[in-house]
Structure 1
Amino acid sequence: MRIRTRRRSAAALGVVAAVLLTTACSTGSLSGSDDSGSGEGSGAASDITVGEIGVQGDIQDISAFCGDEDITVALADGFGGNSWRKITRAIFEAEAAKCDNITKVLYTDAQNDTQKAISDINSLVAQGADVIVTFVDGGEALLPTIQKATEAGVAVVPFVGSPGGTPGKDYVDFVSEDITTYGRNLADWTIEKMGGAGNLVMLGGIAGNSYSQGVFDGVVEAVEAHPDVTLLNEDGPVATDWEPGKTQQVVAGLITKYGDIDGIVADYGGGSVGGIRAFEAAGKPFPVWSANDSNEFACLWYEYKDTQPTYQIATESSRNWVVSVALHKGLAAANGLPNDEPSIYNLEIIEDSTDPDKQPQCEADLPADAILSSGLSVEELKALFQ
């Protein structure tokens, strides 16, 4: 699918606030053929490939998308309170710094409040953001706001957390890993290491977020193929807010409620460390555990592997780097430039404690919250967490 869009002129900014105050829900379109607007950049057409599947090696250099005109970009985060979000913000800002013509980089944190997330996007549009990259924790509740921003001429690119709607129409594109496949792959590995039987739990993040639901759907697919496995949370992912402290509390409650838990699939390795401590505090055998990678998650395996024989771990990339692709696509759309980078990225297991060639990577001189697959260098991670 190919789309084209036009960059807003500065003169149009006064119109934006008025558009955002309207209550009508307009779908907008990125393929409109009206090129009669005024101002520099008006009428510039771009070809953005939407929905392509690829791998991390397909990501291109940002220089192809910077353009020449001054431009303002923004990261609208639905929740900025954990290490994954902080690393992702750092990657976004470092990537934006590579374009000399990006004169302003804005950031908002909705603090897990959907109404604030809506207000944040409206505010960024009113401030003149040409590109808004956003992690949509509030799901479809954000779609009307994103549609209005798109109609106002802003290049909006959701990543990882989807608002629903139609990429290439309601917004430029949606960038993520194949979320359901991520959940299914980790669940398949976990169930295999469980011996094909036992009690399984899937830990998610903020209640109701679309990302955790997608991972859960993949876990369900895997469980359906193994009748001797019981998914204890069959109604949906267990909410942990992606925070280690809350994860510890939640997992402690699950241990009290169910007793034996043989396997856990989590969509955040950084939060999983709290759950591991809950098993330790309860004096229960550690389960087979899979998640995305985190330094402390790997280090804890080395700490307990000799005393917890049932405890094995596997991870896929925490893929913070996808925010760079979201920025690339937004810049290309705003500047009237083509972009054919993949939208959806296939991930594979990168750490497997049962595979001598994929042993967990623990860096003792890095902070516990560091993510080695994030896209930041070791030195950048050290500086971020000082």
Structure 2
Amino acid sequence: MSRNTNYAALVLAAGLALAGCSTGTAGTSGGGGEAVKDQKVGMVGTEDQIQDISKFCGKKDITVGFADGFGGNSWRKITRAILEDEAAKCPNIKKVIYTDAQGDTQKAISDINSLVSQGANVIVTFVDGGEALLPTIKKATAAGVKVVPFVGSPGGKPGTDYVDFVAEDITTYGQALAKWTIDQMGGKGNLVMLGGIAGNSYSQGVYDGVVKEAKAHSGIKLLNSDGPVSTDWEPGKTQQVVAGLITKYGSIDGIVADYGGGSVGGIRAFIAAGKPLPVWSANDSNEFACLWYKYKDSQPTFQVATESSRNWVVKVALHKGLSAFNGIKNDEPSTFNLQIIEDSTDPAKLPKCEKDLPPDAILSSGLTVPQLQKLFK
């Protein structure tokens, strides 16, 4: 899949989100009932506007499918746990079926078809395969299933091809972290943006924001000028990739990453190479924060900032699907504005390292400390 195709999908989704006033039709009808009157898609807001799921449960028995495009890292495991915990609050949700496409687009298509055949009424899905999944999603919608993609966009038209698309404002996320990183670099030097699985629409959207900010600073050279560096969102792969970048470029002054949990592998690559740690921004991860405390005195160039890893958006995706199935109006945001929550240069926002929690824990995820401890036991 080309990056241009993914970019077009993101532009469409972002445009709907910013408009905040599109009315859903086919994607918002109830389970055999009429469409919800004046149901809007793409509404923009903040995390504190998420509502209690009890408002959307309804009374009918419901089977929920979670079609994950890739389930192989801690972020995905936490997100699955959040969805299952949220679904358990509705006594009429009788079953949650989870599938993991393992980064394989053809398996992702097969997984969604399988969930439909198993009787899923609502399907929540992280679309790693971009527009390649759209025909399958449209087919599921036509069969009466309420499909809600989150974070990874399939393109298409929210409110018609599927219920709605739930995510943060991706480009703004990339641009905000890039601005912070470039400011800490003094507006000059070599910058790298680390993404996830090759060709995924999410990393491309973050990259577009980084490019926009980098272009505003003549002293900045974005080393990966052809798109985000693929790391598969895995610490081990990230370490290998960053080691290769260090060998190729020698000097790297700043990094923007779309996964803090994977960034820890990149940090290890710099330490192993005996190179100064650069300015680094990502989304939050317990080990990412703890590594800053470990190296902050010996590595003065190593400053970090994070925005929320926002695993909690999966709750809203579930709410949107339940609302559509039950014919209940949902006025929660579907596009969330994020802000920097950790900043090693700001005494009021110092990174949070919880030594009693596992390295893979994500403190902003929405899970409690006991839930995180149980998940990573």
* Shorter-chain TM-score range: over 0.9
Between Structure 1 and Structure 2, whose CA radius of gyration is higher?
A: 1
Instruction: Normalising by structure 1, report the TM-score.
Output: 0.91
Q: Which amino acid aligns with 1:30?
A: G
In the other structure, the counterpart of 1:164 is 155
Contact 1:204/1:266 (8 A) holds in 2: yes
User: How far does residue 31 in structure 1 lie from its aligned partner after superposition?
Assistant: 6.7
Asked if 1:137 is matched to 2:122, the reply is no
In the other structure, the counterpart of 2:35 is 45
Contact 1:45/1:337 (8 A) holds in 2: no
Contact 2:28/2:163 (8 A) holds in 1: no
Asked if 1:311 is matched to 2:302, the reply is yes
Where in structure 2 are there 5+ consecutive unaligned residues? 1-21
Note the alpha carbon deviations across 1:34-91, whole angstroms, 9 max, x for none: x9xxxxx422432432011000000000001000010111110000000000000000
Query: Counterparts of 1:73 and 1:49 in 2: how far apart (Å)?
Result: 22
Contact 1:46/1:335 (8 A) holds in 2: no
| 1:262-273 → structure 2 map (5 Å cutoff) | 262-273=253-264
User: How far does residue 126 in structure 1 lie from its aligned partner after superposition?
Assistant: 0.5
User: How far does residue 3 in structure 1 lie from its aligned partner after superposition?
Assistant: 2.2
In the other structure, the counterpart of 1:226 is 217
Contact 2:27/2:164 (8 A) holds in 1: no
Asked if 1:54 is matched to 2:40, the reply is no
Secondary structure, counterpart of 1:128 in structure 2: coil
Asked if 1:186 is matched to 2:207, the reply is no
Secondary structure, counterpart of 2:341 in structure 1: strand
Query: Counterparts of 1:265 and 1:30 in 2: how far apart (Å)?
Result: 35
What is the RMSD computed on CA atoms of the aligned residues? 1.0
Contact 1:49/1:342 (8 A) holds in 2: no
Contact 2:24/2:158 (8 A) holds in 1: no
Asked if 1:2 is matched to 2:23, the reply is yes
| 1:267-282 → structure 2 map (5 Å cutoff) | 267-282=258-273
Q: Which amino acid aligns with 1:56?
A: E
Q: Which amino acid aligns with 1:42?
A: G
Asked if 1:154 is matched to 2:145, the reply is yes
Note the alpha carbon deviations across 1:259-312, whole angstroms, 9 max, x for none: 000000000000000000000000000000000000000000000000001000
Secondary structure, counterpart of 2:187 in structure 1: coil
Aligned residues: 355
Asked if 1:117 is matched to 2:138, the reply is no
User: How far does residue 347 in structure 1 lie from its aligned partner after superposition?
Assistant: 0.3
Secondary structure, counterpart of 2:27 in structure 1: coil
Query: Counterparts of 2:32 and 2:247 in 1: how far apart (Å)?
Result: 61
Asked if 1:87 is matched to 2:78, the reply is yes
Asked if 1:261 is matched to 2:252, the reply is yes
Secondary structure, counterpart of 1:133 in structure 2: strand
Q: Which amino acid aligns with 2:367?
A: L
In the other structure, the counterpart of 2:197 is 206
Where in structure 1 are there 5+ consecutive unaligned residues? 5-28, 36-40
In the other structure, the counterpart of 2:10 is none
Query: Counterparts of 1:186 and 1:2 in 2: how far apart (Å)?
Result: 32
In the other structure, the counterpart of 1:30 is 27
Q: Which amino acid aligns with 2:33?
A: G
Question: Which of 353, 356, 360 in structure 2 is aligned with 1:365?
Answer: 356
Instruction: Normalising by structure 2, report the TM-score.
Output: 0.93
In the other structure, the counterpart of 1:19 is none
Q: Which amino acid aligns with 1:372?
A: L
Query: Counterparts of 2:87 and 2:128 in 1: how far apart (Å)?
Result: 23
In the other structure, the counterpart of 2:18 is none
In the other structure, the counterpart of 2:328 is 337
Contact 1:44/1:335 (8 A) holds in 2: no
